[in-house]
Chains A and B, each alone.
Chain A
Amino acid sequence: MRRILIALAAATVMTSAAAAGDEIKIGVMVGFTGPIESLAPNIAAGAELAIKEVSDSKALLSGAMVTPVRGDTTCIDAAAATAAAERLITADRVNAIVGGDCSGVTTAMLQNVAMPNGVVMISPSATSPALSTLDDNGLFFRTSPSDARQGQVIAEVLKERGVGTVAITYTNNDYGKGLADSIATNFKAVGGAVTIEAAHEDGKGDYAAEVAALAAAGGDVLVVAGYLDQGGKGIIQSALDTGAFDTFLLPDGMIGDSLVEAIGADLNGSFGTVPGTDSKGAATFVDLAAAAGFKAGPFNGEAYDAAALILLAMQAAGSADSGKLKDHVMAVANAPGEKIHPGDLGKALEIIAAGGDVDYVGASAVELIGAGESAGNYREIAIEDGKIVTVRYR
């Protein structure tokens, strides 16, 4: 029996070693279930678009094939996200991970699984300011900006629209709290007043009590730093029902077609911000996505960029090993070098292979600063006639 087991173990080691030679696996971890489940499929599709492009180009590390492996973070359940990351890293043996999506689960995955195993994670959408200062052994990057930046942008938007007072409600987790604090600090700095900063729990049937407290505090606009498929939607519905607020400011977690459809015409006149640029890359990405059969939405370009950065860094390191590629992410993302837009990944791989330098711009005009996070470009949106329209870029 023991001999059989040894033989079995040896066979497993050999097959996995053989697999590592010509196949590279990239984990794609977003919340396919949970409070942003309506956004998750297209975020994953964005990452998989870059993976397919690189795989088809046959230019990565002597023609390696790259396949995505999906994992569900649930967005809010740290235990489930940790288990999924564990499975991807130890069973599927992914080389690096695009994800996670929400800040809390991303932190959990990073600390519990990715760091002990030395696997690189690039998140397209974790925006909590706390992730900037986390000790990550150089393994964590994000193509989304920190909410410290989003807070500034939102404060500017509010001020330019002549809003004097706001009430803030946030989903009770790392993302919500970090963003709400950032908005409050920045809005006060530009002379605005915050009447109340109150948390709400996701997953309740009834938000009447929360809205009553917000209404008592008052304010011209209600800032809802929550999730569009969850408590955020419930708060907005209840606020409209009781006539407490009629204009809402929607940060990145609240932007999506499903919210506009669920609430209907009453949401017209509300506005918000979501990471995005009007760069050439963004437009190219929208076309690429359409060709691949999906409509580019929030964080899709960031996911494409996250996957692209991982693969370009592999090429620069000459290895699919996370421990080696982590030192090359910043170099391929920033100047100097040839500017790389979506769809040019094959070209970029060849430049790197030939010993050249690239400056990855991608779909979201990536410029990694500090500990490896995007400097931050935002799209200001408004809701008009039941549609999300772009006002301008910041």
Chain B
Amino acid sequence: MPPDLLNATILLGNYVVVPGVAYAAQLALGALGITLVFGVLRFANLAHGDLMAFGAMATVLATWQLQAWGVGLGPLPTALLALPLGILAAIAAALAADRLVFRFYRRRRSAPVTLVMASLGVMFVLNGVVRFIIGPGDRQFADGERFIVKAQEFKRATGLAEGLSIKTAQCLTVIIAIVTVVLLFRFLQRTRTGKSMRAYSDNEDLALLSGVNPERVALIAWTIAAALAAIAGALYGLDKSFKPFTYFQLLLPMFAAAILGGIGQPVGAIVGAVIVAFSEVAVTYAWKKFLYYLLPEAWRPDGLAQLLSTDYKFAVSFVILVLVLLIRPSGIFRGRVL
């Protein structure tokens, strides 16, 4: 490849592909949880973002304790060891919320909008609890080797003008997300419990007639959703930084991903997450330098070639959400209509 083309590819990789893939993986795990709760329990769980914050918080606290004891994984972040504890904490929080709040409305067969409003209340409570325990500020818990590929070293090694950097956390995010998704799909497709969950999701009355226990299904749905939330939250914190408020902000792109893919459809959540993540990154990316490498001199743009200022990053998922609801409310994979 000519050096300009190589430079353009690396540039795109560094600023669009690598961060986009990691972000998509984090969104996908979150959106899967949302879609699962919606499929089985039939309401949009607004507390999912703060459930992520709760799981991540437990992971951060456990990581600090491990670091204090001097336990570590060498080049890998200690947070990986602490993650199971974060998952358990998130499951406990989700089950407590179900027992104290959601079960009451489920037994009364309340309208979905009542459950959504109840989840809004749970969201505020979780939000407060997280801030009360760990504070509203930035918390650092990443350790180990920060980079797999460092931008400056990459430049030196290849002699190219553009550098490529890949963080350990980004790589781990993608690997863990793939493993989790594979396990989840095997569970849903192959096991008896998974099948009963899908049956319950497809047709509640028929499933009840065939002897599916609704409380058990709800319990398992919450457990899985909370585990996904804790993993997504911890990975997001590891890749970027842990701050309670950012998880609340993630709610919008996650819902956009779940609805775009077709809510209630696990595959849809993943496809939706990839589309939302890359739209956010690509629309707010300034393409000037990329075009500079590829276009002949006369065609090179003077401006930044940026479609939207980065301030409008969240507006992208909002627009996607509105467009999907207007044009194809069932989403790509024909999920339910909210």
Contacts and interface: CB of A to CB of B under 8 A. Distances in A.
Interface in A198-244: 198-201, 203-206, 208-210, 212-213, 215-218, 234, 241-243
B14 A213 contact: no
A217 B15 CA distance: 13
A213 B240 contact: no
Nearest to A233: B138
Contact of A205 (B151, B236, B288): B236
Interface residues of B, number: 39
Interface in B272-307: 280-281, 284-290, 304-306
B304 to A, nearest CB: 6
A196 interface: yes
Contacts of B152: 243, 246
Nearest to A266: B152
A148 B14 CA distance: 37
A212 B246 contact: no
A209 B281 contact: yes
B106 interface: no
Interface SS of chain A: helix, strand, loop or mixed? mixed
Interface string B117-136: 00000000000000000000
User: A204, A212, A215, A242: which has the most chain B beta carbons within 10 Å?
Assistant: A212
Interface string B230-251: 0000001100111101100100
Interface SS of chain B: helix, strand, loop or mixed? helix
B245 A198 contact: no
A216 B311 CA distance: 16
Contact of A217 (B19, B236, B243, B286): B286
B252 to A, nearest CB: 14
B163 interface: yes
B336 interface: no
Given A216-B289, A217-B286, A208 B236 contact: no
Given A209-B281, A217-B304, 8 more contacts: A196-B304, A200-B310, A201-B311, A212-B19, A212-B281, A216-B285, A216-B286, A216-B304
23 contacts: A198-B309, A200-B310, A204-B246, A205-B236, A206-B246, A209-B284, A209-B310, A212-B19, A212-B281, A213-B304, A213-B309, A215-B15, A215-B289, A216-B15, A216-B287, A216-B290, A216-B305, A234-B241, A241-B165, A242-B151, A242-B165, A243-B150, A243-B154
